[in-house]
Amino acid sequence: MTASPRYLVRGASLYGETSADLLIADGVIAGVGSGLDASGATVVDADGLVALPGLVDVHTHLREPGREDAETVETGSKAAALGGYTAVHAMANSNPVADTAGVVEQVAHLGRRAGWADVRPVGAVTVGLKGERLAELGAMAESAAAVRMFSDDGMCVHDPVLMRRALEYVKALDGVVAQHAQEPRLTAGAQMNEGAVSSVLGLPGWPAVAEESIIARDVLLAQHVGSRLHVCHVSTAGSVEIIRWAKARGIDVTAEVTPHHLVLTDELVRTYDPVYKVNPPLRTHDDVEALRAALADGTIDVVGTDHAPHPSEHKECEWVQAAMGMTGLETALSVVQLAMVETGLMGWRDVARAMSEAPAKIGRDSDHGRPLAEGEPAHLVLVDPAARWTVDPAAQATKGRNSPFAGRELPGRVIATFYAGHPTVLDGALNAPHPAFAGAHAGER
C-alpha cells in the first residue's frame, strides 16, 4: 500500500464523549491525545464534531453487474463515503446473480478499483436466487472476494430443508446466512402492510406473520445446527419478540433494522407516492416504537440501510406498478440521529456499536469497526451533530432518486470520512478515492 499523507484531526469528540486529537499516518491511527505534533500533517479542525469508527453497512444494493442504469459500484460507494461508510456489503441480486466465485470477485474488483470504500460482496444462498439448490458457497468463500455473508435478499429461502443445508454449509465457512424473512404464499400480490390502512385503500396486505413465521422457523433451525443466522430488515414488533426470545435461549442470531423503518409508517401510503413502497413494507406506529426500543437495548444488533436505488421510471408510476425500495446510504446516520440520539434512546457510542462495530463482526470485516485508538486502522467518520440539512436526491452521489426523505430537513451531517487513512470526504463533499486502491486490480492490495 502506498504511504498516505499525515492528517491531524484536532479536537474531535470521540464517541461524543472525550475531546482529543487523532494523528493519522500510513493508514493507521498513529496517536490519540492532546497537543499532538502537527508537523508535516494536514490539520482538520474537528471542534464540535463527533468522531466515530467508519460505518459498516451489511445491506447495500449496488446493482452492478447488470443494472448499471440503477447504480454502479462506483456511484454506490461514493454515496457510501458521503454517508460516513468505509465498508459496505453488496447484496447478490445483480444480473447475473452473485452466485459464483467469478461474479463475487468481479464485484470486489470493481469496489477496489473505485477506491471509495471496502466493497464486500454478499454471495447468493441459492443459484439464481431461485430457492431450488444451493449456490457455490464454498467456492465464493475461498475466492479472492472471501465471502462470509450469504443471502438471497429480495427473495426468502423459504424451503426449510434448503435453509437447513445452507446453515450447515456456512457454519464450516465461518459464514452467516442473512435471511430475507418473507413467507411467499402469505405475501403473494402484497402491496403494503396488512392492517387498517390497507383495508381503507383496498391494497393487498403483507401481514406481519409472514415475516415472523420465517424468523421463528429459522432461529430454531440455527439452534438445531449450531450455525449463525442474521435477519435482514426486521419490521414488526412480533419479530422483535421472537428474536429477543431466541437470544435469551442462546441462539446465535443477529438482526438489523433499516433507518426508514425507525421513522416512517404505513400512514404515508395514503399518499399513493411510490417512494414509500418498500419490502418489507412500512408498518405501524407501534412497530416503529418496538423497533426503536429493540435497537436501543441490543435485541436488534445493527442498522442496515437496505439502500435500493431504482431508475426513475420504476418509481415514478402508479403504485401497483412501482418497484419496491428506497435509497439510504447518504441519509442513514442523520435518520438514526433523529430517531435514536435526539430522542435520548441512544448515545453516540451506541451508534458506533450499531453502525460500525456490530456490523463489522457480523460480516467478518476484521479491519473495520475497530476502536478509535492508537495502532488501529484509520477508518473513521466526523459528523457535525448540530448541522441541519434538507435532503435533495438530485444532489446525491447515488443514481437513485427514490429517497423517502426528499425535501425533509434532517439533523447531523457527515463532514469527513477517512478510509484507510485517506479522506474520501472533506468539508462535507467528496474529496478523492484512496490513491492506493483507485484504478488498481484485484489482488494488488
For the annotated catalytic residues, the residue numbers are 306
**How is residue 20 written as a grid cell?**
482529543
The response to whether 63 counts as a known ligand-binding position is yes
Pair 54, 84: CB distance under 8 Å:
yes
Buried-state track 158-195, b at ≥16 Cβ within 10 A, e below 16: beeebbbbbbebbbebebbbbbbbbbeebbeebbbbbb
Q: Maximum CA pair distance of the chain? A: 67
The response to whether 333 counts as a known ligand-binding position is no
Q: Are strands 192-193 and 422-426 parallel, antiparallel or unpaired?
A: unpaired
Q: How far apart are the first and last CA of the chain?
A: 7
The response to whether 59 counts as a known ligand-binding position is yes
DSSP code per residue over 378-437: --EEEEEEEEEEE--GGGSSSS----TTTT-EEEEEEEEEEETTEEEEETTEE----TTT
- Residue 55: beta bridge partners? 85
The response to whether 260 counts as a known ligand-binding position is no
Pair 400, 378: CB distance under 8 Å:
no
Closest CA to 363 of 313, 301, 427: 301
DSSP code per residue over 358-392: HHHHHHT-TTSS--S-TTSB--EEEEEEEEEEE--
The response to whether 95 counts as a known ligand-binding position is no
The response to whether 379 counts as a known ligand-binding position is no
Residue 190 CA to residue 21 CA, distance in Å, equals 52
Residue 222 CA to residue 201 CA, distance in Å, equals 38
Residue 175 CA to residue 214 CA, distance in Å, equals 20
Q: Are strands 28-33 and 18-25 parallel, antiparallel or unpaired?
A: antiparallel
Q: Is the dihedral of CA 444, 372, 49, 342 positive or negative?
A: positive
Residue 354 CA to residue 129 CA, distance in Å, equals 28
- Residue 22: beta bridge partners? 9, 32
The response to whether 306 counts as a known ligand-binding position is yes
The response to whether 310 counts as a known ligand-binding position is yes
The response to whether 307 counts as a known ligand-binding position is no
Please report, in range form, the residues annotated as the binding site. 59, 61-63, 93, 153, 180, 233, 279, 306, 310
Q: What residue numbers does the annotated binding site for substrate cover? A: 61-63, 93, 279, 310
Annotated binding site for Zn(2+): 59, 61, 153, 180, 233, 306
